[in-house]
Chain A
Amino acid sequence: MRELLCAVGSRRDIDAYEVLFRHFAPRVKAYMARMGGDSQLAEELMQETMIAVWNKADRFDPSKGAASTWIFTIARNLRIDAFRREKRPEFDPSDPAFVPDDMAPADAELDAREASEQLHEAIAALPEEQAALLKLSFFEDQSHSAIAARLNLPLGTVKSRMRLAFDKLRAALARSGDLL
């Protein structure tokens, strides 16, 4: 997927884009459909997301992470805009006040590739209760207190399970030599 997205970015490769589209469009649509709303709206937001993928593909940096992560962030921002009508505040790396990272790994692209394989395995190995919480948080647009109320759990329990899950994933990646 990484190579395909790079091909779209560098050569406007429509065949590569079609493969990406057939893989991600149904996933992005399912992600949009989780916000309630009608299937028509989910379809529109999916198309907006996939067209943004085509238009912005030259900004994808394979050393920063997987294609799925980059597409997720585009879908997430469109979803916030459509359903909450809020701006998403984001830092700007070209801002003079931005503090750059001077720790650049030697082969960032290789690291990013290994990291996403490690992450895939680590998420699959999470206890069900922790994986379920991550899914609720990432898919259903619910705050941690809303998740706590829905599952009838104390807020502290939700937060500590999230933290445990995050720690495990971080540890799994640290073992792969990544410095996250």
Chain B
Amino acid sequence: MTIRHHVSDDLLLSYAAGSLAEGWSIAVATHLALCPACRRRLALAESIGGELLETETLADHGSVDDAWASVRRRLQQPMKPSAPARETPPARQPGGLPEPLRSYVGGDIETLAWRSLGRGAYHIPIRTADRETKVRLLRIPAGKPVPEHSHGGRELTLVLSGSFVDGDEIFARGDLEDADASLTHQPVATPETDCICLAVTDAPLRFRSWAVRAIQPFLGI
């Protein structure tokens, strides 16, 4: 598997800094699970954080002696039993959903409860605690287009299974498409199989077709 479309520096640095909202972070972390090259870039970005921590200015933040005495005492107490590790849904197949995505949707590809969007397309909304993004798994039928749309904001699309073509570029498993407000596009699933992807947006999509726009409120996209 060769990934051609990687996470941008901008997203990677925000993810490393911890300032990226949860929704975008799901797409970034799931891409990272599939892409060793981007994990090496993440290691660099996190080491910037470590280096900046070294240079953090030490204003008057109280005595380190007091803090040490207090922590030393806490270390001598028996450890609180840690919270039981969260149950991870089992992986069903090698080409299935990687973590952290699998836990977010609660199962692997063939166990999912898809909801119809009409025209053979399906989705599963994913809940997060952030108020900035909408996150969903999308299933586009083989050979069919996602209705042509532009964005009020940013849209990240991570392919998990199958592939789609957008303009003259192909996106397959692990590829991340990063579309901003200026792009009007019409991704089309390739003919062999349905295309399953994770889509994260920060504003409703704007569909060119009035017919799609008319039913949009009911689709929740």
Q: Which of B44-52, B137-145, B188-196 contacts A (4 or more CB under 8 A)?
A: B44-52
* Interface contact B50-A98, CB-CB below 8 Å: no
> Are A103 and B36 closer than 8 Å at their CB atoms?
yes
Is the beta-carbon distance between B62 and A43 smaller than 8 angstroms?
Answer: yes
> Which of B15-23, B111-119, B164-172, B211-219 makes up part of the contact surface?
B15-23
What does DSSP make chain A's interface, helix, strand, loop or mixed?
helix
The size of the chain A interface, using a CB distance under 8 A, is 80
Alpha-carbon gap, A24 to B20, bound state (A):
25
CB closest chain-A residue, reference B54: A68
Which chain B residue shows the least CB distance to A54? B75
Instruction: Classify the interface of chain B: helix, strand, loop or mixed.
Output: helix
The answer to whether A89 touches B25 (Cβ under 8 A) is yes
Q: Of residues 94 to 128 in B, which have CB atoms within 8 Å of A's CB atoms?
A: 94-102, 104, 128
17 contacts between A and B (CB under 8 A): A18-B68, A28-B53, A30-B61, A73-B46, A87-B22, A97-B97, A97-B98, A99-B34, A103-B36, A116-B50, A119-B44, A123-B55, A139-B56, A162-B9, A162-B10, A170-B44, A179-B40
B residues neighboring A (CB under 8 Å): 1, 9-10, 13-14, 16-22, 25-26, 28-30, 32-36, 39-41, 43-59, 61-62, 64, 67-68, 70-72, 74-75, 79, 88, 91, 94-102, 104, 128-130, 174
